[in-house]
Chain A
Amino acid sequence: MEIYLYIALFAPFVGSMFAATLGASKKTTIAGIIPSLLLFVSFVASSILLNHILSGGEVVHVEMMTWMQTGNLYIPFGFVVDQISVTMMMVVTLVSTIVHVYAIGYMDHDKAFNRFFAWLSAFVFSMMILVMSDNFAGLFIGWEGVGLCSWALIGFWYHKESATWAANEAFIMNRIADLGMLIGIFLVFWNTGTLQYAEAFAAMQFLDQETLTWMGIFLFIGAMGKSAQFPLHTWLADAMEGPTPVSALIHAATMVTAGVYLVVRSNELYSLIPHVGLFIASLGAFVAIFAASMALVNRDIKRVIAYSTLSQLGYMFAAAGLGAYWVALFHLMAHAFFKALLFLGAGNVMHAMNNELDPFKMGGLGKTMKTTMIMMTLASVALAGIFPLAGFFSKDLILEVAFVDHHFIIYTVLLFTAGLTAFYSFRIIALIFHGEDRHTSLGFHPHEAYKFMLVAISPLLILAIIAGFTMKGTFFEMVTQLLPATEYHVHSALTYWIMTIGTQLFVILAIFFAYKKYMASDIKVPDGTSKMENSFVYKLLINQYYIPYFYEEYLVKSYRELSTVFWKQIDQKIVDATVDGIAGVLYNTGENTRVMQSGNLSTMLRWVVIGLVTILSLAVAFGLTVRYLDEIQAILSGLGA
């Protein structure tokens, strides 16, 4: 089995290197095909490992080699394929294979085609390290690796000012969170003496509550950055500057769920500190409704989907925080399928509309893009959580968890968010695909995407439909070998049915409301004059609660001013001045002593004699001092007394 582990891990790396060697040369389709094939190989290897785990095989654990060994610190390059990581591996390899194939079509006209695949495969490799590592240090390496690749891919069109800005924003925000994560890892090592998951978690059982609480908090800060939880959420919406396959793979299906993975992986730690868990759940519920509210009014289809991702991450954290780790992981998996599908569909729409993102300028695209419409509609149905699609099973389960655990505030918030989710999802569906053809007057000529792109994303469609009812049982049996096997059943059957049907009705009503409101024939491109657009709530939401404004105005600006002071006062006047001073002294010494080199033999001989006399006198003085050391000391001590 070890060989499959290595194949799954290193095939993306080989693909990345292959595309990277072609990075500087002209666009060749082979630079996209080979990495896609290698990813498919990785996917097959992961499937074999999944099959091995499912059929009751042992956890595959390898130590490739020693990475660091000094004193008590021992960190190997160790990889583990257990029930949790194999789930993540399947999600990552499946979605990334599909996205790679899709991107061959999507990036067809891009000059930097080869570079794109080099980075995209490098991302998959980092993500595989992240999920397969058997210790916190390896996790951290993968964590930073995905951050780097995300930076390079958000800023892929680096000639665009906004893209580079968004890339840097994402990178810097993640750095802030990574500091917290690093402190958490230090705390783990400090208190348990190891970074291996198994040994560290075993040792945690004997630590006191306070230490564990700090560990949990700092590790969660890292998760907050990567999973874009409040208040570090602003980068995710701006990250939509990157190419759409990147948004689908990194900012929806895989990288942003790394935070959830971390919490799930550290479940033994978080089970010991339920108060931190409750905080995580509350924050998750807050982010769920907070992000959903911003998605209600946004006029950029990719941003709407990004906020939806944020909201769903909130759901996952709510589940994980309440101790329902397997539910969180299940929602992570289901969400990866339908959200990647939604993004890739949005990519088709963008292509058709020459990168126009405002759904108010579209309308009636369903006539020309039937397949995309069906795919996006079904993905939205899955996202909204309608029976029997994937979202129903995972999301309803999270609601039940909150209900059964008597966290009724969290339950209400999540339930309300489910309605909002349905509304904003179908708002963009209605605006894009139905209603009047608003785009014709703007001069767009939409067309459907390449056939092979549609075929490539169809597995996601199938999974978005069937992932819920086919996999739930197997999934539960598999992951609960590692995770707490808490089943969540509402006690009375009547309450259960009322809840389920009530939720379904609520969601369906929200969908109908969205269709009714946005399929109307009098929809126009908003121009800032309508009553709604001038209302306070609309302004609050469209400006993202003024949080980016607040960051810019109060944090970034004051930081910039502080930096200017440090630059002008400290760096220039102290640091630079010191360095320049040293250089100046050396320069002046040279300038003043070069007159010695007169070229006159007599003068030079004179210098030789002076040097000789100096050295001789020093030698004599030193010799005398050594010989009469005792007497000199006696005299000196006499002076002191």
Chain B
Amino acid sequence: MEIGLNHYLVLSTILFAIGLIGVLKRKNLLLLFFATEILLNSVNVAFAAISHYHGDLTGQMFAFFVIAIAASEVAVGLGLLIVWHKRHSNIDLDQMSSMKG
């Protein structure tokens, strides 16, 4: 069986769904970051696949940008996470409600 564009897109969709459920369900901040990484990388898979399918490098370039931004986002996020953990000695989402309106 030849592996075609559709297979990649299905994979991307499955990964996105997993990431989305992770974002909705996880209460641990660290695991929330994992979930967002899965979301971003599912999109990267789709970008790369479609780029290859069309023979156009733009999509792959976009994927690189996404990787770079994801990396910096995680760096900032982890930094904040460590500070939070030092102060409150937990990283439970339900405890973070200082923005309550």
* Nearest-Cβ distance from residue A616 to partner chain B, whole angstroms: 12
* Nearest-Cβ distance from residue A478 to partner chain B, whole angstroms: 82
Residues on B with beta carbons closer than 8 Å to the beta carbon of A594:
101
Contact in complex: A601, B100 (CB < 8 Å): no
B89 is an interface residue with CB less than 8 A from chain A: no
B72 is an interface residue with CB less than 8 A from chain A: no
Known: A600-B93, A600-B94, A600-B96. A609 touches B101 (CB 8 A): no
Contact in complex: B97, A609 (CB < 8 Å): no
From A599, A606, A609, B99 is in contact (CB under 8 Å) with A599
Contact in complex: A597, B24 (CB < 8 Å): no
Q: How many residues of A are counted as interface, with CB atoms below 8 angstroms from the partner's CB atoms? A: 10
A69 is an interface residue with CB less than 8 A from chain B: no
Would you list which residues of chain B between 9 and 33 have a CB under 8 Å from chain A?
20, 23-24, 27, 32
A598 is an interface residue with CB less than 8 A from chain B: yes
CA distance A594 to B101 in the complex (A): 7
From B23, B27, B97, A598 is in contact (CB under 8 Å) with B97
Contact in complex: A606, B24 (CB < 8 Å): yes
Would you list which residues of chain A between 570 and 614 have a CB under 8 Å from chain B?
594, 597-602, 605-606, 609
Contact in complex: A600, B97 (CB < 8 Å): yes
CA distance A597 to B32 in the complex (A): 20
Interface size class of B (residues with CB under 8 A): 10 to 19
* Nearest-Cβ distance from residue B86 to partner chain A, whole angstroms: 19
Residues on B with beta carbons closer than 8 Å to the beta carbon of A600:
93-94, 96-97, 100
Known: A600-B93, A600-B94. A605 touches B101 (CB 8 A): no
CA distance A599 to B32 in the complex (A): 17
From B20, B32, B96, A609 is in contact (CB under 8 Å) with B20
Residues on B with beta carbons closer than 8 Å to the beta carbon of A606:
24
Residues on B with beta carbons closer than 8 Å to the beta carbon of A598:
97, 100-101
CA distance A605 to B96 in the complex (A): 13
CA distance A605 to B100 in the complex (A): 14
Would you list which residues of chain B between 43 and 101 have a CB under 8 Å from chain A?
93-94, 96-101
Contact in complex: B101, A601 (CB < 8 Å): no
Contact in complex: A597, B93 (CB < 8 Å): no
Contact in complex: B98, A605 (CB < 8 Å): no
* Nearest-Cβ distance from residue B92 to partner chain A, whole angstroms: 10
Nearest B residue to A604 via CB reads B99
Contact in complex: B100, A602 (CB < 8 Å): no
Known: A609-B23, A609-B24. A602 touches B99 (CB 8 A): no
Prevailing SS type, chain A contact patch: helix
CA distance A588 to B96 in the complex (A): 28
* Nearest-Cβ distance from residue A614 to partner chain B, whole angstroms: 14
From B20, B94, B101, A602 is in contact (CB under 8 Å) with B94
* Nearest-Cβ distance from residue B28 to partner chain A, whole angstroms: 11
CA distance A606 to B21 in the complex (A): 10
Residues on A with beta carbons closer than 8 Å to the beta carbon of B98:
599
Chain B CB within 10 Å, residue with most, of A597, A600, A606:
A600
Contact in complex: A597, B23 (CB < 8 Å): no
* Nearest-Cβ distance from residue B22 to partner chain A, whole angstroms: 10
Contact in complex: B24, A602 (CB < 8 Å): yes
Contact in complex: A597, B96 (CB < 8 Å): no
Residues on A with beta carbons closer than 8 Å to the beta carbon of B27:
602
Nearest B residue to A600 via CB reads B97
Residues on A with beta carbons closer than 8 Å to the beta carbon of B100:
597-600
Residues on B with beta carbons closer than 8 Å to the beta carbon of A597:
99-101
Residues on A with beta carbons closer than 8 Å to the beta carbon of B96:
599-601
Nearest A residue to B101 via CB reads A597
Residues on A with beta carbons closer than 8 Å to the beta carbon of B99:
597, 599
Residues on A with beta carbons closer than 8 Å to the beta carbon of B20:
609
* Nearest-Cβ distance from residue B20 to partner chain A, whole angstroms: 6
* Nearest-Cβ distance from residue B93 to partner chain A, whole angstroms: 5
Nearest A residue to B36 via CB reads A605
Contact in complex: B97, A605 (CB < 8 Å): no
CA distance A602 to B27 in the complex (A): 7
Residues on B with beta carbons closer than 8 Å to the beta carbon of A605:
23-24
* Nearest-Cβ distance from residue A601 to partner chain B, whole angstroms: 5
CA distance A598 to B94 in the complex (A): 10
Nearest A residue to B94 via CB reads A600
Nearest A residue to B100 via CB reads A599
CA distance A308 to B46 in the complex (A): 99
* Nearest-Cβ distance from residue B94 to partner chain A, whole angstroms: 6
Residues on A with beta carbons closer than 8 Å to the beta carbon of B23:
605, 609
Contact in complex: A599, B94 (CB < 8 Å): no
* Nearest-Cβ distance from residue B11 to partner chain A, whole angstroms: 20
CA distance A448 to B52 in the complex (A): 112
Nearest A residue to B96 via CB reads A601
CA distance A601 to B94 in the complex (A): 7
* Nearest-Cβ distance from residue A409 to partner chain B, whole angstroms: 85
Residues on B with beta carbons closer than 8 Å to the beta carbon of A601:
32, 93, 96
* Nearest-Cβ distance from residue A593 to partner chain B, whole angstroms: 10
CA distance A602 to B99 in the complex (A): 13
CA distance A602 to B93 in the complex (A): 7
CA distance A542 to B25 in the complex (A): 93
Binary contact readout A290-318 vs B (1 if CB under 8 angstroms, 0 otherwise): 00000000000000000000000000000
CA distance A598 to B100 in the complex (A): 5
CA distance A602 to B21 in the complex (A): 11
Residues on A with beta carbons closer than 8 Å to the beta carbon of B97:
598-600
On A, residues with C-beta under 8 Å from B are 594, 597-602, 605-606, 609
Some 17 contacts from A to B, beta carbons below 8 A apart, are: A597-B99, A597-B101, A598-B100, A599-B96, A599-B97, A599-B98, A599-B99, A599-B101, A600-B93, A600-B94, A600-B100, A601-B32, A601-B96, A602-B94, A609-B20, A609-B23, A609-B24
On B, residues with C-beta under 8 Å from A are 20, 23-24, 27, 32, 93-94, 96-101
Given contacts A598-B97, A602-B93, 19 further A-B contacts (CB under 8 A): A594-B101, A597-B99, A597-B100, A597-B101, A598-B100, A598-B101, A599-B96, A599-B98, A599-B99, A599-B100, A600-B93, A600-B96, A601-B93, A602-B24, A602-B27, A605-B23, A605-B24, A606-B24, A609-B23
6 closest pairs, A vs B, by CB? Answer: A597-B101, A599-B100, A599-B97, A599-B99, A601-B93, A602-B93
